[in-house]
Amino acid sequence: MKEFRQVGRSVTKTDAQGLALGRAKFTDDLLEGDELFCRILESPHAHAEILSFDASQAEALPGVVAVFHAGNVPRILYTSAGQGNPEPSPYDMVLFDNRVRFVGDRVALVVAETEDIAREACAKIQVEYKELPANFRAERARHPDTPKLHGDEAFMPIEELTYRPEENVASEVLLTIGDPDKAFEESDFVVEHTYSVHYASHAALEPHTAHARLDPQGRLVIHTSTQVPFHARRITAKVLDIPVGKIRVVKPRVGGGFGGKQEVLLEPLVGLATWRTKRPCRLTLSRKEVFTSARTRHPMRVRLKTGFLKDGTIKAMDMENLMTSGAYGPHAMTVLTVSAWKCLPLYNKVEHLRFTGHTVYTNTPVGGAYRGYGATQSHFATNQQLDIVARTCGVDLLELAKSLHIKEGETSPVFEALGEGKGGVTQILNSCKLSECIDRGAQAIGWYEKRDKKLREGDWVRGVGMAICMQGTGLPKIDLGSATMKMNEDGSFNLLVGATDIGTGSDTILAQIAAEVLGIDSEDIIVTSSDTDVTPFDVGAYASSTTYVSGGAVKRCAEAVRQQIAQAAGEILDVPQDELIFGECGEIRHPGKGKTVTFAQVAQYTLYGGTLRQIGATESFTGEVSPPPFTAQFADISVDCRTGRIKVHHLVTAIDCGQAINPTLAEGQVEGAVLNALGYALYEEYRFDEKGRVTNASFWDYKVPGPEDTPKITTILVDSYEKTGPYGAKSVSEVPMNGPGPAIANALFDAAGVRIFHLPLTPEKVLGALTKEKRGTPS
Amino acid sequence: MEWLFPKTVDEVVGVLGKENVVLSGGGTMLLRGKLRENTTMVDLSGIESLQQIVMEGGVISLGGGVTYAEAARRLAESDPEHILAQALGRAAATPLRNRITLGGSVMAQPFWSDLLGPLTALGAELRLEGKNSGFCEMAEFMRSPELRSGNLVHSLRFPSASWRTWYHRETRTSFDYPAFTFSMLCNQEGGRVKDLRVVLTGTSKKVERLLKVEERFQGRDVEERDFQNLEEFVPETFVDRPHGSASYLRSMATVALERGLRKLMGGDAG
Amino acid sequence: MRGSFIVNGVVREWEFPEDMRLLDLLRREGYAEVKCGCREGMCGSCCVLLEEKIVNSCQILAATVMERDIRTVEALSEGEEPHPLITAFAEAGAVQCGFCTPGMVLAAYCLLKENPDPSEEEIKRALDGNYCRCTGYVKIIDAVQRGGRKMREKEVRE
């Protein structure tokens, strides 16, 4: 275990007290009261052409300032996906189109003096629709008779990426390694199952919201609840045909994102409204609109075929993924890729692999980034399949998992073969403590006391299950983070980062990294983040990149600043700077001559006294590799055999996230992901009617776990160190999302002998499986 | 829209007959729909006589303006297993229980109410004020939609007898409205079941007393515990809900019925 | 219509529409610590204390709570010193995005006033109307226990 001074300390989050006092400001708390209200007119149809559009009655209402629609807004194709430029997502949307493609799609934007007037005006807009046949099922999307959602105009900005809208294919990813078919023939067992996971909402407590105004110089200033301020700026500029330099995007505190705000949804709308009306404008989505018209988890069907030997050695894997994009394709290619890229390398000893992935358009809500980002979907399949392999061979699952997973010093050809827009990277693992995770997690859950025991208590029978998971840590050579530091006269520092704290605590841990370099306390680092006018570039909070990529930039920047301090100190003390030692709390000493100088003295010298210069630096970082974090996640459950209800007693996560910069914050990320995953596994689902409308777009019927639904949750941060990461860090926020679902499904099998391949594990579904099992029919 | 803030029940009765009058107890049901422009809103929260809780002479009387939280708390003080304390103590969630009023809930009668079942099982009476002033049995009130307009629920009352109780609400997560509820009361005398009451809510009939179950077990030896073929006694009036299909819910009701009866008769629910 | 409200101990006179919700009125008048998450009384971000009981301000028509004691999380702290419960939340790592926190703190405060040393079940029940999507509730429950201890210690000292 490495010992650091600031890194590895659970310092209190810099904004925690302000938030708990209710004084820290979110986007809506910064409204000045003079903003016009925007309201989106949404499509009532799943698929329709707009034959005519008449806003005259709406515009005539007193208090209506403008109505924007396809007729008066330039038609510029783009993607809302908050990704690098050019985005690896199809440009298949415009602000307002003459066609609507899902219930909730945008038809127009009304801008009015009050919310009530805006609502009334929306009702007065006359739209004549010609309904078109709609398709809601991914399995039918590619059928020649199925209506096509996107015509000639839509295109993929990165040409090498497959895009076939004529087949409703938003993305295709293919990979073959070795000769899988031959390997299946040579296997003792071949098992094939179809798994599926479903639509989900991030359900961040703060709905999407943004407001815009013109500053005195006529620049557009947008405050927004976003994970991607720089992408928001660029994409808004593109869609409104305004220079990037004319726009400033500021992110205040954000009330949760989880991927749902890695999307440029509202900024172009409030930007448009303000740019054209010249008045401040605001738009906050209702909770219903967040459910139907923002972004969701991508549903996915995973067909997994595994060929293995009697001792459990896996010879071949064939994974075929069919992913539902919904009506548009943001993240269509990247989530699909990740379902392979951040899953299959775990099984690197499998020499024969095939991956066939398709993302297809359907007339349903639009998928986007959601914690886990494709890996969650495929891990649901791979982990149940691993359980099946172990049971078929009669081998110990834990021993099998420990033997087959990728190890330190090893690689997988999948790393190189797949990438998120650019090619993949070759990487050899520097750190992987997954075996230790398995052992420690198994101990914490009481694995051997419960596994295969089917302990009964009345109608309840108990079981345990496990899942092994990986994710990534930033996108190598794609994700850019940067940091600027400057020194103040009292020895404190301003740290300006583009990195986006969405509640994760990145402001805090980046300060800890800088403080570690300088030997001071993180409280002496003042962080300003996510303001495109002030902070240097950062892609934003996604791909589990902030600690590693933004942290990497902060470390470089602090090192550069430290260099400058050393130089000035050398001048002040008249000694060679490389003989100086940085002590604690901003004290620099020359041991030989017994002379010391403080940071404050150095600052005074450089700002006022001696060689005048501002000590400061700007540095950047992108990863060369994306070192995976790993989890072994365990579930201890009981199932009521008469009702199918699952009670989760205990969820354990043992995680290798490298060196945790702040253990309490790292645990917090694990705990939040684990409960979210539990909700996804058991309760959360979208319900649709036959016309493609979401019928449960509310917390009333979309059930997220509350405090009384929380099981015992244990987090074990296993000691690990990733040498390519700042002070040994890897990522932590996404990977724990991947395990609880399959672990619970595996525990269900352990308890009751039924395996359910399709989430969510509702009581009715479980009971149905139990009943079939009792009757002797295979489920 | 205008607001009236009456201090007495008589003031309310005076406006009840008029058009577009909306009574506001805790207000939680109102905001689920849209409030129309020309309504006269009557805020009942200032009327002290609606907030009374009286427990004397073998009768418990709860004012129409009493909240779920307050009712649950007071009832649990003398009897933690009181069926109404159990039901109201788990309905909705803490902040909502502090606002939902008994009178408002009885008037609104949503199918997912946690109040209707226990009141029916307890044989509660409502005291109405307005065009039908006087007492009215719960069952009659549920049968007569015309009683819901032009009247205000002044209070409700039921005997303060002690019972063996069992309450079940069928939910997904903890903070959820129930797909159905079971309210079950009984006593025992000489080792036999006495005064069994079984009330099911949430079906298409909203509230159903399962008289056939009551007949089946009334007077039986408690030790007998014969729960065969209970399914025959469970109605076919379930409908599909997000919690599950009608047939699943009916099966769950059968299980819940058995478990409740077992518990009432001194065994474990299982 | 016009009415008088007592918010955090201060009497305020406000003009407001008859159908305005308490949540919207409070936010309009600068009480930004009261958040809007769903408008359905489900998420708890809008919780305030009404006569010392926790309620969803989004489910209350402002007209019905005139001249009654309303408190937001601001009322907890006297002067510059944050309430020990707030400090407990911050120190326990129970504050991630912070959107649920003001409501959560008030729910915890109500519990601890009645029940200074609650069990884990009692804490979960008291907070059952407050959703959090960030923390998994683990450190929130810990914070309530810590906060309870701090509050008891403070009382002993005083």
The pLDDT value recorded for residue B270 is 43
Checking if the pLDDT of B246 tops 70, the result is: yes
Closest Cα in chain C to A699: C42
The pLDDT value recorded for residue A779 is 45
Q: How many angstroms separate the CA atoms of C70 and C79, rounded?
A: 18
Percent of chain A with pLDDT over 70: 99
Please name the fold of domain C84-157.
DNA polymerase; domain 1 (1.10.150)
Give contacts of B270 with chain A, Cβ < 8 Å. Answer: 458-459, 642
Q: How many angstroms separate the CA atoms of A8 and A515, rounded?
A: 12
Segment A456-469, tens digit of pLDDT: 999 999 999 999 99
Closest Cα in chain B to C17: B1
Checking if the pLDDT of B210 tops 90, the result is: yes
Chain A interface, best mutation among C29, C80, C99, C111, by max A CB count within 10 A:
C99
The chain-wide mean pLDDT, for chain A, equals: 96
Segment A601-654, tens digit of pLDDT: 999 999 998 889 999 999 999 999 999 999 999 999 999 999 999 999 999 999
The pLDDT value recorded for residue B33 is 67
CA distances from A59 to A62, A68, A109, A115, A214 (A): 8, 10, 12, 15, 23
The pLDDT value recorded for residue C97 is 98
Segment A111-154, tens digit of pLDDT: 999 999 999 999 999 999 999 999 999 999 999 999 999 988 99
Q: How confident is the model at residue A20 (pLDDT cuts 50, 70, 90)?
A: very high
Q: How many angstroms separate the CA atoms of B45 and B40, rounded?
A: 15
Interface of A with B in 431-490 (CB under 8 A): 458-459
Q: How many angstroms separate the CA atoms of B263 and B242, rounded?
A: 28
Provide the CA A219 distance to its chain's centre, in angstroms.
31
In CATH, what is the architecture of C2-75? Roll (3.10)
Q: How many angstroms separate the CA atoms of A767 and A642, rounded?
A: 7
How is residue C78 annotated by DSSP?
Answer: B
What mean pLDDT do residues B17-41 have?
Answer: 83
Checking if the pLDDT of B268 tops 60, the result is: no
Q: How confident is the model at residue A475 (pLDDT cuts 50, 70, 90)?
A: very high
CB contact (8 A) between residue B255 and residue A642: yes
The pLDDT value recorded for residue A610 is 84
Q: How many angstroms separate the CA atoms of A486 and A496, rounded?
A: 9
User: Nearest C-alpha of chain A: how many angstroms from C153?
Assistant: 20
Per the structure block, which two tokens stand in for A172?
Answer: 């295709």
B228: Cβ–Cβ under 8 A, 6 or more apart, which residues?
A: none
Q: Which chains touch B (3 or more CB pairs under 8 A)?
A: A, C
Domain layout of chain C by residue ranges: 2-75, 84-157
The pLDDT value recorded for residue B67 is 98
CB contact (8 A) between residue C19 and residue B35: yes
Nearest CB partner across the interface for C98, out of A503, A675, A676: A503
CB contact (8 A) between residue A767 and residue B245: no
CB A650 within 8 A of CB A636: yes
Q: How many angstroms separate the CA atoms of B223 and B229, rounded?
A: 18
Q: How confident is the model at residue C96 (pLDDT cuts 50, 70, 90)?
A: very high
Query: Quick check: pTM over 0.95?
Result: yes
The pLDDT value recorded for residue B38 is 83
Segment A691-736, tens digit of pLDDT: 999 999 999 999 999 999 999 999 999 999 999 999 999 999 999 9
How is residue A464 annotated by DSSP?
Answer: E
Q: How confident is the model at residue A431 (pLDDT cuts 50, 70, 90)?
A: very high
Q: Which chains touch C (3 or more CB pairs under 8 A)?
A: A, B
Domains of chain B: 48-159 (3.30.465.10), 164-264 (3.30.390.50)
Q: Interface of chain B against chain A, CB under 8 Å?
A: 93, 172-177, 242, 244-245, 248, 251-252, 255, 268, 270
| DSSP assignment string, A409-445 | T---HHHHH--SSS-------S---HHHHHHHHHHHH
Total residues belonging to chain A: 779
**Selection from A411, A387, A415 nearest residue A633 by Cα:** A387
The pLDDT value recorded for residue A421 is 67
Q: How many angstroms separate the CA atoms of C143 and C151, rounded?
A: 12
Domains of chain A: 16-24+479-621 (3.30.365.10), 31-132+208-284 (3.90.1170.50), 300-475+625-775 (3.30.365.10)
| DSSP assignment string, A361-372 | E-SSPPB---TT
The pLDDT value recorded for residue A777 is 59
Look up the ipTM and state it: 0.98
Q: How confident is the model at residue B17 (pLDDT cuts 50, 70, 90)?
A: confident
A379: Cβ–Cβ under 8 A, 6 or more apart, which residues?
A: A343, A372, A467, A469, A738, A739, A741, A742
Give contacts of C34 with chain A, Cβ < 8 Å. Answer: 22
**Selection from A461, A770, C98, C129 nearest residue B173 by Cα:** C129
Nearest CB partner across the interface for C97, out of A21, A502, A674: A502
| DSSP assignment string, A648-662 | EEEEEEEEE-BS-SS
Segment A270-318, tens digit of pLDDT: 999 999 999 999 999 999 999 999 999 999 999 999 999 999 999 999 9
Checking if the pLDDT of A775 tops 90, the result is: no
- Beta strands A48-54 and A126-131: pairing type? antiparallel
Nearest CB partner across the interface for B174, out of A696, A701, A706: A706
The single-letter code of the amino acid at A199 is: Y
CB contact (8 A) between residue B172 and residue A764: no
Percent of chain C with pLDDT over 90: 93
Segment B31-45, tens digit of pLDDT: 766 677 788 999 999
